[in-house]
Amino acid sequence: MRKLATAVVAAGLFFGGMGVAVADSSTRQFDMTTTGARFFGKYQWQPKDRVPSGLHVDGVLRDDKGDDGHNVYLQVKVEGYAWGRHNGVQRKDTRVNEVYRDGAVLVTDEVRVKVCRDRGSLRPDNCSPSRVFTR
């Protein structure tokens, strides 16, 4: 009887742990737009025991107004660090497939992402509102 109870408890812990791992690594779709720029794709929080671990972003950065002469870029911010930047190409789609694996990503539960249109040095860039992705 004790062996059976031990086996049931062990199986419950095993399958419960699998559920947490699957929930932690689920993929979510998202779409961000601003005037002249768009990013659409998916993100996934990878488990902390996986190498590389962190936030995996996979999608397409698009210049929606190719004739305006402005570039587009994607910005990502991990708590406590400056904004990171991925530049796009004018009049083209740019594939972004990046794992943000800084040490801070392993201990934080949120990352901010926004898409922007680079309007040069005289006019301010226009950016979408920041999206917060939580673990």
Please list, in sequence order, all residues whose beta carbon lies within 8 angstroms of the beta carbon of residue 71, skipping any fewer than 6 positions away: 63, 87, 88, 89, 90, 117, 118
Domain annotation covers residue 9: no
Domain annotation covers residue 16: no
CATH number of the structural domain spanning residue 63: 2.60.40
Q: pLDDT for 2-59, tens place per residue?
A: 544 444 444 444 444 444 444 445 788 999 999 999 999 999 988 877 777 788 899 9
Which residue range is the domain that position 43 belongs to?
27-134
Q: Tokens 């190409």 label which residue?
A: 89
Q: Tokens 């929606």 label which residue?
A: 64
Domain annotation covers residue 68: yes
Domain annotation covers residue 21: no
Closest-CA residue to 96 (of 52, 27, 53, 38): 38
Structural domain count of the chain: 1
Q: pLDDT for 105-130, tens place per residue?
A: 777 778 899 999 998 878 888 999 99
Report residue 112 as tokens: 């901010």
Tell me: cis bond preceding 129? Omega within 30 of 0 counts. Answer: no
